[in-house]
Structure 1
Amino acid sequence: MATQGPPPSARIRLYKPAEEKPVRFMIGLAHMEYLAHANNRAYFHPVTLFVWIAVSCGFAHYLNAWPDPSHGFWGYLQILPAFFAPAVPIMFFIDWKNRPAIEALAESTLRRIDLLDIVPYYARSPASGLWIFEYSGKPIGLLALDASTDALNDTPYTTKLSPAQQKQVLHGTGSSAVATIRHIFGEEAYRGAAIEDDMVQFAVRSAFEAAREVQTIRVLASPLRPWVLEALKKNGFVEGEIVQKIGVYRQPLSWWTLGRSKYEETKVVAESS
């Protein structure tokens, strides 16, 4: 009789230096999700559908490709090429307009100071860390929480800094009053299990319970990554400053924040219930 193996296990562990390439890949993939969602939203936006139908009708009229019942069933199909052909340039135009801003955002993120030398950077505050989420030994997501004294530094660097330059740019050890969730990503296959919600909860606990200096957590979020936005709302984050607007239909990319007082109130209520 065959014996069953151990059940699949999930865990959160610290990043290892050998994982730099897959970590950078996941961070880039997280930003490309903005592009996929921006395109999909734009394709089915009422304005886009109106333009598509209007152009298709004009194209069908120009080609005299309206349905012709005299040809039976096939006569009704002759409009299809005229109707669907305009969709191709419209979709191309939307992707062409959406892509540059999102690729620039991804590039600037990958060039920020926290990714120049990951291990020592995230070791400077007890609340900081870059964690890998594993399921049965397979990485399925990552979370990076920066509570260091450089948590508000979002400057991209074009080259790797020398030790002397790092010493000049970085502000030593310690914790900031404002912590930043710099990166969050979960594989699509596991979103049904609310993996982003687990990651946000882990980040909040790590920030507020590991360093009393941390009073606020901030994270950049957008409706273009709705699964992350939903997890933030569920955990009490509120929208603040809009940093930029992305895509053809100008979706906001905003700072979402959670204060210590709100976290502790929620924690007391949860423990008493």
Structure 2
Amino acid sequence: MSEAITPPVEGTPPPAVDAPPSGLPSEQPAGDVYDGFNLSDDVKAKFKDGKLNGRFGSLDDVLVKLKEAEDFKSATISEQKKLEGNTQVQQEQLKQEQTKVDAQNTVIQEILPSFMENGMTLTAEMEEKLTVGLTGTEKELAIYKFRDGARNLADRTNSAYAVVGGKENYQSMQVWAKENLSVEHQKVFTADVNGTPEASIIAIEWLNSKYQTALKDGSAPRRIEGSHHTEGLRPYADRKELYKDKDYIESPAGRRDTAAQKQYRARMKITPDAVIFGNR
């Protein structure tokens, strides 16, 4: 007698049957997308909605961004080195230019006395020395600047002589100053004489007043305190007060203010050396 087969009860699911292995990717168990990178849980936690810090969708994106940053840094370093190289070149060029200027100034000082004695006429020999190594426009410009500078020097020299009554008086005053003024005082005087035309005249008038006083006294003191006050005038009490007026005198407005210039010169004549030269 054969064994009876019991039919399945209606509504009962069929028994589960294990399916054979499949190679379909969709049927593979979900793995960890960070496998193989040895990422810590802290790093994994930074991935939100599939993007690291909300920016990178994958580690490849991170690597691409890192490469861009490295390229940018490399380009920046390269540009910096290039700029440093350009700076060195510019410094070398400036050094060469300064060397040329210094050499030309030396030549100018050499030929200037002869130029002045020659009636401010530039001889062929002078021109050759002045323009050595120069051609064209650069040569013409050097000659023009020299002549213009010489004219200005002549004008200032004549003005200086006029203040003291001539060349001989000026030279005598210079000799006295070298013997009776300290080195520091001489430096201040020289700086003023080489300053603005107004400052130059005032400095010469001041020194001449000291020189004339020394001649009258029959002495050549190292420091003359200018104690002879003119009625209605007072000497400058300190350099702050003095330079306040000096700055005005040398300004465009002060150059037009002849009354102020006259008053300033008069006060300078009776101001002690200690104030003028910074001892107080």
Report the TM-score range of the alignment, normalised by the length of the smaller protein. under 0.3
TM-score by length of 1: 0.24
Q: Using CA pairs under 8 Å that are at least 6 residues apart, name the structure with larger relative contact order, 1 or 2.
A: 1
Larger radius of gyration: 2
TM-score, with normalisation over the residues of structure 2? 0.23
Q: Which one has a larger percent strand, Structure 1 or Structure 2?
A: 1
